[in-house]
């Protein structure tokens, strides 16, 4: 077999691969035939795969291409279909795929329900090839709907029709007329219908294993990476300027990391398919070290633990690729300009190691902003290095930025987009997001018809925006799979039958078939804009964590590695962070900023996990917040700010000791607490100005007075201090988070605070079943049509009210994380497709007075909530709320129970004070709060005749069944003269 004549076209209508001949048919819908998948030179291995598929096709069998992650299997399937001129029905399976996505979907038009055929039925009746990608992603027991179609070419449809195999149908047609068969609703399955399934081998990769009855209906073919020499030839042509030795070293590394030995060490597969784009980068920038490039393809420092890292470095050194030990060549973006002749491209000049290199990258339609000209972005050497590396990767592929939270990923992404003149489309990802949320959602028109709404992700692809996928580490891998074809091939099939094609493929179809854009749009085919790019943001994978562990997941597996080039946002150095703090908060006291950074970097640089977790509370974002506050209130102590940011009041004792030790090591002294009597904590409202302690603010003049809360509140110094603190942050424009145990008065403080400021509030209570939809919309039915009303959140945004979110720790953190975009970028997409944004047509504009006040219980046992502070704490200004000090509590109780004897109140305050300190030390679990004492005092005030011992049982009977607890309580209460639980056994009778 002559290798150059692997595929030959004989007399126009037959194709021959080697010795297998296939007769072509003219396609009825030529626009559905894949184009531009075949390359001019076909490696021998590919030809063998295609020949095998053709054999199976001639036998009328369905095939399953199995192999490692990456676009290769899909590419082979498409090449075969292009070669044989077959129409394709493609469906990417995900964990959200249901039977209706494959068979038939109900739609309503003008009040009538009817069925629309989906991909499997269309393929069967029209004689197309059904390409099913990602069988391991589908939930178990969804795919058996296809079993009978695969085996006997039969299927019973929802609308009463029955699909029947071609030969049986033709037999019946000899005895009956077509009209009769139609009246029996029998439909012929075309003899050209085939299925090509693409899947990964499970168990090696994550996913559901194949069901034996389904597996037995396919003929399998292992599609492994191309053989070494075929790959090498491809790579040589991609990088003509690169020494051949470097190319083969990179390929040897990749091959080694994909071998059996490597995977038994627990190393994920190297993304072989991304070598090609990376060689294009290396071809333009031959001065880059190979190790840096490998880091972009395979960020082993982030994914692997210590053993894994040393294993990879061992392989690197074996192929002499450890050349990145020397300092990376400093690179900066010097200029960006639009190209005159090509729309959607920009010329970028980078200076790398004192050489200027110019190259072209995709760009947006707006005027690019010159580098470093934004007032809100302070460039540091490491950021300009990162931006220039992102420019290089942007030339060839989509990018993913990995960095800890609060380290500036969103800011960098925004700067990157603006430098290239992109319109940016932020999409916040959350854990229970479905493939529908990503691509297209169902909704009903006012007349009750069903319709599909494109998601922002799809409109960004059509309009050529920069899509920011924020939080790719949160989404389930089975959902993200629907994007792999968009990221690899720039093609997408949507639920309503729309097809998006890569720009050049769309143009080819248009020219070859002589169609106009309108004609293609009628057939629901649209081009993806050539400038469209995806920039994903993610937090670092938790090394060694299973997918189910609570502390985050190891999300970066072999499949995701093939989708992006990875860049790590390293934490800023001390000097850089100092420049940043002083650049963004110019009035911050120098000494305070230095102390802060000294502390933060000493925490970040230790290997102690406790210190690391404290350091995560002092992210760059949080340091900026502290500096903004210190520049307005320079007399405040740094220690106070740090304790507030870390919520040290609720840290476990070990972590708190660590923080105190670090503070004293950095010689940061806590200012002595003002004694209660010396400082005047009064609040006054005079001439429309509210003053709490030493802070003043104008009183608001609301349009809706009835929404201003009014609450019974007895002033006490402790709560006044909290409110003074809140007012400071409120005036700085922050959103506030109040954390505390139950019953310490969080709601009362917030209501009193808003009452004093005269601010109307909207109230949202979260719970386990809160979803992203219920946060933004409240569905109701009017005249038989579902309408959506604005939720309190949207009302508050529109009207400029204060949104009080109560019990924030009770909702799943993957739901509350969508508040981040609202706080950070003041943008958010609502469940009905509207959006909150600044400068967009038809968007809801956020009122400048809108604020969020979030209330949550502290994390940890005995509270049953989620760790809201851990996942979202650093986007709010946090305040710890505690029970009032004994003196303040006594004064407050006197107001609740003016007739209760002082001695009784003092006993209560003392006893509860002791119980609380026991709860802090962990001797008892339940933190007794002011609410409990107030209820006892209210009872004594109303029924003075009842004995104290009897009334305190209202609180302590909860513990009457726990023997150890009961003994501890009785001892503590007896100590303070509260005679509780005197059993006959414990009364010692004295002698007369």
Is residue 500 a contact partner of residue 262, using CB atoms and an 8 Å limit?
no
Cα separation, 571 vs 129, whole angstroms: 50
pLDDT at 231 over 80: yes
Give the range among 332-336, 565-569, 638-642, 913-917 with minimum mean pLDDT. Answer: 332-336
Q: Does the 683-880 domain belong in CATH 3.90.1170.50?
A: no
* Percentage of the chain exceeding pLDDT 90: 43
pLDDT at 547 over 70: no
pLDDT for residue 549:
38
pLDDT for residue 674:
52
pLDDT at 920 over 90: no
Give the range among 706-710, 822-826, 853-857, 873-877 with minimum mean pLDDT. Answer: 822-826
pLDDT tens, residue by residue, 125-169: 999 999 999 999 998 888 888 999 999 999 999 999 999 999 999
CATH class of the domain at 8-222: alpha beta
The residue length of the chain stands at 992
pLDDT for residue 541:
84
Cα separation, 798 vs 2, whole angstroms: 72
pLDDT for residue 11:
59
pLDDT at 647 over 60: yes
Indicate if 331-545+553-568 has the same CATH topology as 8-222. yes
Other beta carbons within 10 Å of 643 = 19
Residue 477 pLDDT class (50, 70, 90 cuts): confident
Residue 672 pLDDT class (50, 70, 90 cuts): low
Eight-class DSSP state of 957: G
Give how far Cα 506 sits from Cα of 491, 494, 543, Å.
Answer: 10, 16, 42
For residue 644, report the phi and psi dihedrals to the nearest 5 degrees: -70, -40
pLDDT at 118 over 90: yes
pLDDT for residue 220:
95
Of 382, 360, 362, 380, nearest to 372 (Cα)?
380
**Residue of 266 and 213 predicted with greater confidence:** 213
Is residue 822 a contact partner of residue 828, using CB atoms and an 8 Å limit?
yes
- Name the 3-class secondary structure at 90: strand
Homologous superfamily (CATH) for 331-545+553-568:
P-loop containing nucleotide triphosphate hydrolases (3.40.50.300)
Residues 6+ apart with CB under 8 A from 691: 683, 684, 685
pLDDT at 367 over 60: yes
Mean pLDDT of all residues in 190-195: 95
pLDDT at 784 over 80: no
Residue 985 pLDDT class (50, 70, 90 cuts): very low
Residue 5 pLDDT class (50, 70, 90 cuts): low
Q: Domain ranges for the chain, please list them.
A: 8-222, 228-319, 331-545+553-568, 574-666, 683-880, 886-976
Residue 301 pLDDT class (50, 70, 90 cuts): confident
Is residue 880 a contact partner of residue 740, using CB atoms and an 8 Å limit?
yes
pLDDT tens, residue by residue, 315-333: 888 888 777 655 566 778 8
Mean pLDDT of all residues in 956-980: 88
Q: What's the pTM?
A: 0.86
- Name the 3-class secondary structure at 542: coil
Eight-class DSSP state of 783: T
Mean pLDDT of all residues in 934-957: 91
Of 767, 269, 841, nearest to 559 (Cα)?
269
pLDDT at 36 over 60: yes
Mean pLDDT of the chain: 87
DSSP per residue, 95-138: TT--HHHHSEEEEEETTEEEEEE-HHHHHHHHT-EEEEE-TTTS
pLDDT at 293 over 60: yes
**Residue of 408 and 199 predicted with greater confidence:** 199
DSSP per residue, 488-508: HHS-EE-TTS-EEEEHHHHHH
pLDDT for residue 821:
80
Which tokens belong to 616?
A: 């995560």
pLDDT at 545 over 50: no
**Residue of 111 and 722 predicted with greater confidence:** 722
* Percentage of the chain exceeding pLDDT 70: 95
Q: How many CA atoms lie within 13 A of 165 on its CB side?
A: 11
pLDDT at 678 over 70: no
Mean pLDDT of all residues in 964-990: 73
Mean pLDDT of all residues in 179-189: 93
**Residue of 415 and 111 predicted with greater confidence:** 415
pLDDT at 984 over 70: no
pLDDT at 653 over 50: yes
pLDDT at 4 over 50: no
């Amino acid at each position: 077999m002559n290798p150059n004549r692997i595929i030959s076209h004989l007399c126009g209508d037959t194709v021959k691969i080697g010795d297998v001949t296939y007769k072509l048919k003219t396609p009825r819908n030529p626009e559905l035939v894949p184009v531009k998948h075949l390359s001019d030179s076909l490696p021998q291995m590919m030809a063998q795969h295609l020949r095998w598929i053709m054999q199976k096709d001639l036998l009328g069998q369905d095939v399953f291409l199995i192999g490692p992650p990456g676009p290769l299997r899909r590419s082979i399937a498409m090449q075969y279909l292009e070669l044989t001129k077959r129409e394709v029905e493609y469906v990417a399976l995900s964990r959200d795929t249901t039977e209706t996505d494959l068979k038939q979907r109900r739609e309503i038009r003008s009040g009538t329900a009817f069925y629309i055929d989906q991909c499997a039925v269309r393929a069967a009746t029209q004689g197309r090839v059904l390409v099913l990608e990602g069988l391991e992603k589908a939930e178990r027991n969804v795919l058996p709907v296809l079993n009978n179609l695969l085996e006997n070419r039969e299927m019973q449809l929802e609308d009463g029709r029955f699909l029947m195999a071609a030969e049986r149908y033709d037999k019946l047609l000899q005895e009956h007329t077509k009209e009769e068969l139609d009246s029996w609703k029998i439909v012929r399955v075309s003899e050209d219908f085939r299925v090509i399934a693409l899947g990964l081998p499970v168990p090696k990769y994550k996913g559901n294993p194949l069901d034996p009855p389904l597996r037995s209906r396919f003929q399998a073919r292992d599609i492994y990476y191309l053989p070494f020499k075929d790959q090498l030839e491809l790579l040589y042509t991609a990088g003509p300027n690169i020494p051949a030795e470097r190319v083969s070293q990179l390929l040897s590394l990749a091959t080694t990391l994909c071998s059996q030995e490597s995977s038994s060490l627990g190393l994920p597969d190297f993304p072989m398919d991304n070598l090609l784009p990376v060689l294009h980068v290396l071809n333009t920038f031959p001065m880059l070290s190979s190790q840096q490039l490998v880091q972009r393809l395979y960020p082993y420092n982030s994914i692997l633990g210590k053993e894994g890292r040393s294993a990879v470095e061992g392989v690197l050194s074996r192929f002499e690729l450890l050349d990145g030990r020397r300092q990376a060549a400093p690179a900066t973006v010097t200029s960006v300009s639009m190209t005159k002749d090509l729309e959607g491209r920009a010329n970028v000049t980078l200076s790398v190691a004192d050489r200027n290199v110019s190259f072209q990258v995709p760009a947006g339609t707006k005027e690019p902003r010159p580098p470093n000209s934004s007032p809100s972005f302070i460039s540091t050497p490491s950021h300009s290095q990162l931006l220039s590396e992102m420019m290089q990767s942007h030339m060839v592929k989509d990018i993913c930025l990995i960095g800890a939270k609060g380290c500036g990923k969103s800011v960098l992404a925004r700067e990157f987009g603006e430098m290239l003149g992109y319109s940016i489309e932020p999409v916040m990802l959350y854990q229970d997001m479905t493939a529908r949320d990503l691509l297209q959602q169902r909704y009903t028109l006012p007349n009750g018809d069903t319709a599909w709404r494109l998601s922002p992700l799809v409109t960004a692809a059509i309009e050529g925006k920069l899509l920011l996928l924020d939080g790719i580490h949160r989404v389930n891998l089975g959902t993200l799979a629907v994007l792999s074809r968009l990221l690899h091939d720039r093609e997408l099939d949507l639920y309503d039958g729309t097809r998006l094609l890569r720009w050049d493929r769309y143009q080819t179809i248009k020219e070859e078939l002589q169609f106009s854009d309108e004609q293609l749009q009628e057939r629901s085919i649209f081009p993806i804009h050539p400038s469209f790019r995806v920039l994903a943001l993610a937090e670092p994978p938790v090394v060694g964590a299973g997918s189910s562990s609570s502390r985050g997941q190891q999300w970066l597996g072999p499949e995701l590695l093939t989708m992006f080039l990875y860049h790590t946002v390293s934490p800023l150095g001390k000097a850089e962070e100092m420049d940043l703090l002083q650049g963004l908060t110019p009035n911050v006291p120098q000494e305070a900023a230095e102390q802060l950074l000294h502390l933060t970097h000493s925490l970040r640089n230790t290997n102690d996990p406790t210190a690391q977790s404290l350091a995560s509370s002092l992210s760059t974002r949080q340091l900026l917040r502290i500096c903004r506050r210190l520049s307005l209130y320079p007399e405040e102590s740094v220690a106070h700010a740090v304790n507030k940011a870390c919520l040290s009041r609720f840290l476990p004792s070990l972590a708190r000791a660590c923080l105190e030790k670090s503070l004293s090591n950095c010689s940061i002294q806590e200012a002595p607490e003002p004694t209660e009597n010396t400082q005047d904590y009064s609040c006054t409202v005079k001439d429309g100005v509210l003053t709490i302690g030493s802070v003043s603010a104008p009183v608001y003049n609301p349009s809706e007075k009835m929404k201003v809360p009014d609450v019974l509140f007895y002033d006490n110094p402790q709560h006044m201090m909290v409110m003074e603190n809140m007012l400071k942050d409120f005036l700085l424009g922050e959103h506030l988070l109040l954390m505390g145990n139950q019953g310490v008065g969080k709601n009362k403080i917030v209501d009193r605070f808003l009452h004093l400021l005269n601010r109307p509030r909207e109230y949202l209570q979260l719970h386990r079943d809160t979803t992203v939809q219920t946060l933004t919309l409240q569905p109701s039915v009017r005249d038989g049509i579902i309408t959506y009303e604005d939720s309190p959140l949207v009302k508050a945004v529109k009207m400029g009210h204060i949104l009080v979110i109560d019990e924030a720790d009770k909702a799943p953190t993957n739901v509350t994380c969508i508040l981040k975009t609202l706080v950070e970028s003041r943008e958010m997409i609502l469940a009905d497709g509207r959006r909150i944004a600044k400068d967009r047509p038809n968007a809801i504009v956020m009122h400048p007075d809108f604020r969020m006040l979030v209330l949550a219980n502290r994390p940890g046992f005995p509270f049953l909530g989620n760790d809201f502070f851990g996942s979202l704490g650093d986007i709010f200004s946090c305040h710890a709320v505690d029970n009032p000090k004994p003196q303040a509590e006594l004064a407050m109780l006197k107001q609740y129970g003016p007739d209760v004897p002082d001695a009784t109140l003092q006993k209560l305050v003392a006893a509860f004070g002791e119980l609380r300190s026991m709860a802090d030390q962990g001797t008892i679990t339940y933190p007794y709060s002011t609410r409990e004492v107030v209820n006892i005092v209210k009872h004594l005030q109303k029924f003075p005749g009842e004995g104290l011992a009897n009334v305190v049982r209202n609180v302590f009977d909860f513990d009457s069944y726990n023997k150890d607890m009961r003994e501890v309580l009785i001892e503590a209460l007896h100590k303070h003269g509260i005679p509780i639980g005197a059993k006959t056994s414990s009364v010692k009778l004295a002698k007369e």
